Amino acid sequence: MSRPSLLNFNKISDERGNLTYIQFPDHVPFKIKRVYWIYDVPSGQTRGGHAFKTQKEVIICLSGSVEVYVTDGKIEESYTLNRPFTALYIPTMTWRQLRNFSTNSVVMILNSSYYNEEDYIHEYDMFSTYK
């Protein structure tokens, strides 16, 4: 997948509530090496604001809502994530920013690589040039 795209996971519901699961390779297009989550984001704060040279991610808003702005340098898109069974896949070399976190939102991110600062592009101008 070369474009950002929404993924829908199975939701299993019964009288005890709902359950959603993710299993590679059935539900995410890369082997998950790292998981991190973002929470207690103060009103008005943003996260992300970078691109990865090689890392791919899947962003899931487990609770509340968040807006994810993405661009490949040409096409700009904005996705609102507000369901724990819907996710946004972000391919390599995609600029992303997470905005408009609702109160008490919890956002989980699956990543294809171990943490590597070298893989980040923090400057939008450098991202454009790199593209």
Q: Which residue is nearest to ligand TYD (CB)?
A: 47
Residue 38 CB, nearest approach to ligand TYD (Å): 5
Residues paired with residue 6 on neighbouring β-strands, in sequence order: 88
**Catalytically active residues, by annotation:** 50
Residue in this structure with the two tokens 């040039």, named with its chain if needed: 129
Residue 33 CB, nearest approach to ligand TYD (Å): 10
Q: Which residues are near ligand TYD by CB under 6 A?
A: 34, 36, 38, 47-48, 115
3-state secondary structure at position 101 = coil
Residue 114: what are its φ and ψ, rounded to 5°? Answer: -75, 160
Which of 24, 115 has the CB closer to ligand TYD? 115
Other CB atoms within 10 A of residue 120 CB: 13
